[in-house]
Structures are given as structure tokens and as C-alpha cells.
Structure 1
Amino acid sequence: MASIKKRPNGSWRARYRDADGKEHARHFPRKIDAQNWLDEVTTAVKTGRYVDPAHDRETLGEYYPLFRDRQVWTAGTRTAADIAVKSCSFSGVPFGKLRRSHVEAWVKGMSDQLAPSTVRTRFNYVKIVVRAAVADRRLGEDVTAGVRLPATRKREHAMVIPTPEQVRDVLDVADEHYAPLFALCAFGGLRLGEAAGVQLADIDFPRRTLHVERQVQRVGAGVVEIRAPKYGSERDVYLPDALLQVLSIHVEPGAIGDAEWLFRGPHGNPPDRAVVGYWWRKATKAADVDFHLHDLRHFYASGLIAAGCDVVTVQRALGHSNASITLSVYSHLWPTAEDTTRRAAAGLMGQVFSPPADFVRTVEG
């Protein structure tokens, strides 16, 4: 219901009631201005962009805690989102005055100080909150839409895959308690948190299989949280005999029971990222190499691909939720159609002419 009425003082009073029955009114010097305002409100209602004017004074900083507390987030995701919103230069700007230019200025400021990947990560978290505010009818439009971000390097150029010699050197000098954990990452493809959360009962030595069903996340100094692995990441990993031998040697005599952690931190709990990171940096420094622990997962994936494993096999081994993720990360490692065709043709020649050089001599003769 909407109406326009002339006031005794000559101004025009436009009013309407929203879906909740609440009345809203504004006064204008001209009737045409009042009508234009009502038309805008009507259009916003029909297109689903209507926002109660009371929310115009609300800010992203005020809305975020309400949004965050109803999310099913891990402690790590929550911390990352907190940092992103805290760094947001427009978190105190009222929604009614928030514009795309505020977002662009924030991105530009970050780009002058942070790596492109960090800028993109923080932007994406804030974008999630902004879109939620739009969906909750707190904000009229997504002001992050179309904002250009700094270019990042292509995965094939940014990815670091250590050589077998580098991996061997690190394992040779690593602390005897953490070397098996590093080996699990290199030859089982486990993420750091997954490797830290392995229990003895997870390993089926006769079947040479490891069941990944949890991960360790750090929630404070010396405090860890045991959670289910990332969505789609619970899986069976098929371990080579040599790795099983490393793990069996590592197991302490008499360490039995479902609750026995394969790796222990300083307080008897599974080691967290900070603890493992310390021993990893110490090992890489001693080995005189420079790559991250997560690069061991790339090392494992590259080995599977080089051995001829297909996309689905690699996906399941790494615990990706779908094959498209695997392809987006590792597609550049698979041989091209030209490479596959060339090898197939070479194989055919090898079957007909043994060795193929005989065929060359035959033609030349």
C-alpha cells in the first residue's frame, strides 16, 4: 500500500508499508520527487532488492558477527574470515553509503602491501559476507561484483615440485620422530593436518592401507582441535611396502589401542601446524633446500600422474571432493594428446619392428 499526500506546509508526504506491515514515509518539496521515490521502492520490492531503510545505518563490521556465529566453519576458516573483515577498510561505512569504490580502494591498498594470493583470499572472505548481507536484505547490492583483483601466477608456474633427491635429503636429516610424518606426506599424499591426526588403528598393515578420517587444527598456543577431514577427503590410502616399514619402525614398543596417536606433540597431543612447521624448517635448512611441506603433496601427485594414473585415481588418492579440483590444480602435469598419440604410435612400431631401427634401415636400403 502506497500513497502521496500534500501537507499543509506545501510539501508532499509519500508513504508505503513493507511486507511486515511497517510504515515508511518521506517528505519531498515536489510531487514528482515523491512519486519517483515510491517507484524506486516498488521496483526494489519486485526485483528482490528491497532493503528496510533502518539497515542503511548498519555496517559490515556490525553485521559480520551475526553472520559468522551461524556459520558451520572450522576454527581455521573462522580465524581467516576474522582477519579479512578486520583488515577491511570499509567495515565501518554504513550500508546506505557503501559503494563499489570503497571496495576498489581497499583492494588497491592491499595490493601495495600484500601478495596477490593473500589479497584474493581476503577479498573472497569479505565477498561472502557482503553477499550474505544482500541475501538477508541488509544491503541493496553486491558492491564487490566486478571488482578487479591483482593478477596471480598460473598454477603451473607457481607450483613447486621438489625433486626425489631433495625429498631424500630432507628425510635423511629430519628429526627421527617427524621424518615418518614427512614421509606420509611425500608417499601418501596426506595434508599436514591429516598426517598429524593419524592413529595406530587407522593403519591396516596386512592390507597395506591407511584410512584417513580426521585432521588436526590448531586453535591456540598448544591447543589442537580434532575434526573430520575436508569435505570429500575421508579415504583409504594405499601405502607402499617401504613406507609401511618406516611406520612400523616408528611405532613405539607396546603402543596399542585406538586412541594412540602415531605422532605426538610436546604435550602428548597430536602435533599442530606450528610444531610440525618448526621441525620442517629445521630439516630443510639442514638439507639446504627451499620448499614447503605442502609441496610434498604435489610431489606425490606428480608421481601418480607420471606413473599413468588417471584423473579419478589421483582425485581419490588426494581426497579431492571432485575431479574438477584435481584437474584445476594438476592438469598441466598430464601428458597432452600429442604426447599420448606419439607414445601409442611408438608402441605400435615397437610391436611390428623390433627394434624400430630395423624399419629405418629397411626403408633406407
Structure 2
Amino acid sequence: MPSIKQRDDGVWRARYRDATGREHARHFKLKRDAQRWLEEVSASVVTGQYVDPRAGRVTFREYAEGWRASQVHRKQTADSYESRLRRHVYPVIGSMPLASIRPSTIQGLVKRMSTEGDGRAALAPSTVELTYKVVSTIFKAAVRDKRLSESPCIDVRLPKAGKTRATPLTLEQVATLRDTVPDELRALIVLVAGTGLRPGEALGVTRDRVRLLGRNPAVTVDRQLVTRAKGTAEFGPLKTEASDRVVPLPRVVVAALNEHIAAHEIADDGLLFTYRGQPITRPRFWHLFAEAREAAGLTEATGTGLHALRHYYASLLIRFGESVKTVQARLGHASATETLDTYSHLWPDSDDRTRDAVDSVLLADSADSLRTTRHKASGNT
């Protein structure tokens, strides 16, 4: 039973025992404060929100590592979570007990990630947001596990990311990329420009996933090449279920791939693109692509990697009148919203269509009226 007793020094001692029989006690100067505390504890027990005060003594790192070990994540996701926590979160709050972390602590973590200091570069707003979501998810799990009564991830302000509109490459830039990369990668440039595959998808294409003969040549996208933390590469699942798709191959891509396959010995199930016989990891590609990227004048607006060619492919589809759903399907986007968020500015807007519709009718009518007026005028002379 809970109890309150005044000590000889005038301090009030409130105590209770939890379901395991363990005693908990706190001391107050005023009896009413001690009573209020016991009432709050009793209410939390009745509502199922009771949390053992000792449960929050575990450090954030210790709890987070246990949480990570119990999750069913894809390898790529697991690697990403481990890296974000190790690099950006543990140095700040890793050694702190869960119960000691306040909303202001989390806001400070976000501020630190968002600004430069101590030799650190500020992280992009999108990186800060994703890292914060991992932290927030861990604290939600801690609440479910009765380690905490509530999460400190409350009303935390995140940096706002400015909307960046993809600027498509020009044909000249695409040609420069193709002609400047190492010979082993020239067909890769044509493939991505002509299909819009993601970098990992393109680097993971094997010969048995490509159909070059017949009336409907295509590439099957059902996996991607994933770069692991130690710089190794292996096949992994695609980004989303919608990414699993079959993309038609234009004739220019078929010709480039046929020439590439004829010039290199590629097994039936071998990767189409390797460098010196090894799979191309992202760091290796970044190095191989550096000279071509500079020569073509790629920028943050166009994209500085293979994604620049993915944007180029999307812009071609839109220019030739393909619908949002078609562009979504070709790019493997999870939703039409994702497609529009990235490329809506490339579609003709409603103002343009309105002008064209009115002009097509009224300009023609004006021309007819002018011809009629001229005809009458010539008849009266």
C-alpha cells in the first residue's frame, strides 16, 4: 500500500511498491506534493501507463542497439540506420540514460546536425529529417516497452528543405558524358538515358535480364546492385514494390548494348557493366564518373550522377506527351504523387493549354472573318 510519513527533519517521505514488490520512494517538503505524486503513480497503474522509474536508466545507445537487432529490415535499410546512429546520434546522446533525454535535448541534436562545427559539415535537411525519424521511432519503441512514459520527440522543429526542380540535361551534355566516361561505361550512359533506371538498378543489370531480339526489346528490373559499408557489392531488393518493372528498350539502347556485349566477354548471368572485371560500387562509379561529370557541366540542379540521366529520360517522355501514369510506371515510382512532385514543372501547365484552346478557335474565327470582310470589300468596288 502507498504511504506518506513525515521524517524528524520535517521532510515528507512518500513510498509505494510496484507489481514486483520493489519499493519506490521520493521525498517532498510539502505533504500535498507527496500526495499528488502518489496519486499520479496510482492513476498510471490503473490506466496501464505505469513505468518503473529504473527502466529509463538504460542508455540510448544500449537500447537502440537492442532495438536494431530485433528489427526485420532489408540489409540496405539496416546499414543506413546503423550508419546514421553511429555517425550523427550516438556522439551526442548515445551515453545518456533514456529518462534523462528531454525534447530540448532532441532539438539540440537536430540543431547540431543542421549546422557546421567542430570540423563537421552541416547535413542536408533531408538527411536530418531521415535521421530524426529513426530516433523518433526508437523512442516510440521505448514507450511501448515501458521504458518511458512518453517520447521526447515532441514539437521538434526540423530544417526546411527548399524545393529543387530537376533541370533536364541537354542532348549535348548526354553526348559529352557518353564520350568522356571509360569505354566500359559508354553503353551504361546510353542505357540510363534511354530507360531512366536508377543507378543501382542499372549497375545491377545482368545479361539474362536484357531481351535484345524480337519486336519488343526490354530490360527486366527486379533487383539492384547494393554497395555495403565495407565497399563490397551484392544484389539486393529494389527500392519499392513499384520498382519491379519491365522497361522497353529503344533502338539506340539496343544498338549500344549489342556493341557493348560484342566487345566484352559477359556470361549469360554476368553483370553487363564492370570495371576491370569487378562490380562497380557507388564509390568506384563516382570516381570513374568524375571527369565526365565536370566535362558535361553537371550541377546540383541537373543532378551530379546517373540520376541526371534519369531526369533526362523523364523529360523526353513528358516532351512527347506521355501521361503521368506512364512516366510513373517507367521510372518505378511508388505513386503518381512522387512523379508529379519531381517533374510537374515539365508538363505544360493549364495556362498554356487554356491559351492554346482559345487561340485555336478564336484565331481561326478571326482569320475567317477577315477573309469574309476582304471578299465583301472587293465585291463592292
TM-score between both structures, scaled by the size of structure 1: 0.85
Match of 2:109 in 1: 106
Report whether the alignment pairs 1:94 with 2:97: yes
| Structure 2: gaps spanning 5 or more residues | 117-121, 375-381
Match of 1:15 in 2: 16
**Aligned CA distance change for structure 1 residues 347 and 194 (closer, same or farther; 3 Å):** farther
| Structure 1: gaps spanning 5 or more residues | none
Name the CA distance, whole Å, in 2 between partners of 1:39 and 1:328: 51
Give 3-state SS (helix, strand or coil) of 1:335's partner.
Answer: coil
Give 3-state SS (helix, strand or coil) of 1:251's partner.
Answer: helix
**Aligned CA distance change for structure 1 residues 286 and 227 (closer, same or farther; 3 Å):** same
**Aligned CA distance change for structure 1 residues 361 and 136 (closer, same or farther; 3 Å):** farther
TM-score between both structures, scaled by the size of structure 2: 0.82
Match of 1:189 in 2: 196
Contact conserved, 1:60 with 1:91, CA < 8 A, in 2? Answer: yes
Contact conserved, 2:142 with 2:148, CA < 8 A, in 1? Answer: yes
Contact conserved, 1:5 with 1:12, CA < 8 A, in 2? Answer: yes
The correspondence for 2:220, drawn from 203, 208, 211, is 211
Name the CA distance, whole Å, in 2 between partners of 1:74 and 1:68: 12
How far is 1:363 from its partner? 8.1
How far is 1:278 from its partner? 1.5
Match of 1:296 in 2: 309
Post-superposition CA distance 1:293-316 (Å, at most 9, x none):
222212222222222222221111
Match of 2:258 in 1: 248
Name the CA distance, whole Å, in 1 between partners of 2:79 and 2:191: 27
Q: Counterpart of 2:272 in structure 1: which amino acid?
A: L
Name the CA distance, whole Å, in 2 between partners of 1:92 and 1:54: 16
Give 3-state SS (helix, strand or coil) of 2:321's partner.
Answer: coil
Give 3-state SS (helix, strand or coil) of 2:271's partner.
Answer: coil
Name the CA distance, whole Å, in 2 between partners of 1:25 and 1:61: 26
Post-superposition CA distance 1:74-93 (Å, at most 9, x none):
44433332333232212222
How far is 1:208 from its partner? 1.4
Q: Counterpart of 1:181 in structure 2: which amino acid?
A: L
Name the CA distance, whole Å, in 1 between partners of 2:370 and 2:47: 77
Match of 2:131 in 1: 122
RMSD of equivalent CA atoms? 2.9
Give 3-state SS (helix, strand or coil) of 1:69's partner.
Answer: helix
Higher CA-based Rg: 2
Number of aligned residues: 355
Report whether the alignment pairs 1:314 with 2:338: no
**Aligned CA distance change for structure 1 residues 201 and 121 (closer, same or farther; 3 Å):** same
Contact conserved, 2:14 with 2:38, CA < 8 A, in 1? Answer: no
Contact conserved, 1:201 with 1:258, CA < 8 A, in 2? Answer: yes
Give 3-state SS (helix, strand or coil) of 1:217's partner.
Answer: strand
Spell out the pairing of 1:232-311 with structure 2 (5 A cutoff): 232=241, 233-252=243-262, 258-266=268-276, 268-290=277-299, 291-293=303-305, 294-311=307-324
Post-superposition CA distance 1:34-93 (Å, at most 9, x none):
432233234445666443322221121111111111223344433332333232212222
Percent identical pairs in the alignment equals: 33
Give 3-state SS (helix, strand or coil) of 2:270's partner.
Answer: coil
How far is 1:215 from its partner? 0.6
Name the CA distance, whole Å, in 2 between partners of 1:169 and 1:239: 21
Post-superposition CA distance 1:144-179 (Å, at most 9, x none):
2221122221132xx343222211211122222112
Name the CA distance, whole Å, in 1 between partners of 2:156 and 2:5: 43
Report whether the alignment pairs 1:161 with 2:168: yes
Name the CA distance, whole Å, in 2 between partners of 1:253 and 1:310: 37
Q: Counterpart of 1:300 in structure 2: which amino acid?
A: Y
Name the CA distance, whole Å, in 2 between partners of 1:245 and 1:57: 64
Give 3-state SS (helix, strand or coil) of 1:279's partner.
Answer: helix
How far is 1:211 from its partner? 0.6
Contact conserved, 1:214 with 1:229, CA < 8 A, in 2? Answer: yes
How far is 1:362 from its partner? 4.0
Name the CA distance, whole Å, in 1 between partners of 2:280 and 2:149: 46
Q: Counterpart of 2:228 in structure 1: which amino acid?
A: V
Contact conserved, 2:184 with 2:275, CA < 8 A, in 1? Answer: no
Match of 2:143 in 1: 134
